[in-house]
A and B are shown apart, each in its own frame.
Chain A
Amino acid sequence: SAVISQKPSRDICQRGTSLTIQCQVDSQVTMMFWYRQQPGQSLTLIATANQGSEATYESGFVIDKFPISRPNLTFSTLTVSNMSPEDSSIYLCSVDQGVGDTQYFGPGTRLTVL
């Protein structure tokens, strides 16, 4: 399976600021996914990022709040803009590979907004 890294692993931010999370994969992949996991909750898909096209956002998520870049087949960024305490979550990227298009996840970015 792919090896996926994320930066930063955790951060504490002030409200009103923005944070960009990086996701790096050790092999070329077509699709990358960004998920949010609010405290005590399950994972929710934010958007799907394909290289060379705009990201596809799920209901409840908008590009102005969560802009995504996908400059090549091994890298993507997610920005959490104009943060509020409600954005405090774990943000995870994933890629699908192998049998059943299994999704493999990065280690996550634990974000706290004060």
Chain B
Amino acid sequence: AQKITQTQPGMFVQEKEAVTLDCTYDTSDPSYGLFWYKQPSSGEMIFLIYQGSYDQQNATEGRYSLNFQKARKSANLVISASQLGDSAMYFCAMREDNAGNMLTFGGGTRLMVKP
């Protein structure tokens, strides 16, 4: 079974609107971390936001917030007030504490922001 699933291969959003990118995960490890990365066409991987499995509150970083629903095993990324520069691939990733520090990545979602 896939550990990280991103069901939206591509999405469009109008500039200045909010968008939600979906991510579901599968683990039996009680301690884990969830991450979102942005990959523009240049290829670099840019860290956006982190959520720990024991964190009580949803993580926020500027225009990024993570909608963490532990019982549903989902960790959706919300981008508010989309900008043209947000057009990129977005990857959800998980680190399971019992599996060392390796990251497992989802298949990614390509976000395109329309002017």
Contacts and interface: CB of A to CB of B under 8 A. Distances in A.
Q: Which of B33, B95, B103 has most A Cβ within 10 Å?
A: B103
Interface in B52-104: 52, 91, 93, 95, 100-103
A102 interface: yes
Please report whether the interface of chain A is mostly helix, strand, loop or mixed according to DSSP. Answer: strand
Contacts of A107: 42-44
Interface residues of B, number: 22
Interface residues of A, number: 26
B108 A42 contact: yes
B35 interface: yes
Contacts of A102: 33, 35, 47, 50
Contact of B101 (A101, A106, A108): A101
B50 A103 contact: no
Interface string A94-114: 101001111111111010000
B18 interface: no
Interface of B: 33, 35, 37, 42-47, 50, 52, 91, 93, 95, 100-103, 105-108
Interface of A: 1, 31, 33, 37, 41-45, 48, 58, 90, 92, 94, 96, 99-108, 110
